[in-house]
């Protein structure tokens, strides 16, 4: 008979989900490096990619400070979005998806910061990752609209945003329910 395994700390689970989203977000940005060859995009994407991987490291480091290692996440936010939306092939659609994902991350981190009883180390990580999300959203939104206009389909970006926001709402409802089951949120 096997001994029952201990349930992991709910914060370890949550921080592993955050880390996974940042790692998968960096993969999305990496894809864009091949899709957007202009010099301005290459500069912005390189900085954005550096931020995403640094965010993943900050969550990894926070988990390490807890005396743990990151948990493997097979069903995180990005995976769930991808299963519903697929991988956009057109740059405008990929940019729209990235805006939605970045907006979710920013809202999520800001919500976590408002919770009572969040320890100072976690607050530091939440502040650090939130600080970058604003400029990520802004430059990507601007680029998406610019490319849609240049393609002669100025409403394509806005339509893609709405499509991905609908998917985001479904995915977020699932993840919120999962977090409630862990006792992470009320």
* 8 Å CB contact between 171 and 80: yes
Residue 184 binned pLDDT confidence (cut-offs 50, 70, 90) = confident
Mean pLDDT of 136-141: 97
Task: Tell me the fold of 10-182.
Answer: Ferritin (1.20.1260)
Residue ranges per domain, the chain? 10-182
Radius of gyration of the chain (CA): 17
Residue 122 in this model has a pLDDT that exceeds 90? yes
CA-CA distance, 143 to 138, in Å (whole number)?
A: 9
User: Which residue carries 């999300």 as its tokens?
Assistant: 133
What is the per-residue pLDDT across 6-39, written as a single tens digit (0 to 9) for each? 788 999 999 999 999 999 999 999 999 999 999 9
CA-CA distance, 5 to 180, in Å (whole number)?
A: 21
* 8 Å CB contact between 123 and 78: no
Mean pLDDT across the chain:
93
Would you tell me how many other CB atoms lie within 10 Å of the CB of residue 145? 19
* 8 Å CB contact between 161 and 169: no
> What DSSP state is assigned to residue 75?
S
Predicted TM-score (pTM) of the model is 0.91
């Amino acid at each position: 008979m096997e001994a029952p395994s201990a349930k992991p700390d709910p914060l370890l689970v949550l921080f592993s989900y955050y880390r996974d989203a940042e790692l998968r977000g960096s993969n999305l940005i990496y894809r864009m490096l091949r899709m957007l060859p202009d010099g301005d995009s290459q500069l912005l994407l390189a900085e954005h990619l550096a931020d995403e991987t640094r965010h993943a490291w900050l969550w990894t480091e926070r988990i390490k400070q807890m005396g743990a290692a990151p948990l493997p996440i097979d069903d995180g936010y990005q995976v769930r979005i991808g299963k519903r939306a697929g991988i956009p092939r057109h740059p405008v659609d990929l940019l729209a998806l990235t805006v939605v994902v970045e907006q979710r991350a920013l809202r999520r981190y800001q919500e976590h910061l408002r919770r009572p009883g969040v320890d100072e180390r976690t607050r530091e990580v939440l502040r650090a990752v939130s600080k970058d999300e604003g400029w990520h959203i802004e430059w990507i939104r601007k680029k998406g609209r610019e490319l849609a206009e240049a393609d002669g389909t100025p409403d394509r970006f806005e339509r893609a945003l709405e499509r991905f926001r609908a998917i985001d709402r479904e995915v977020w409802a699932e993840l919120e329910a999962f977090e409630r089951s862990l006792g992470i949120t009320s």
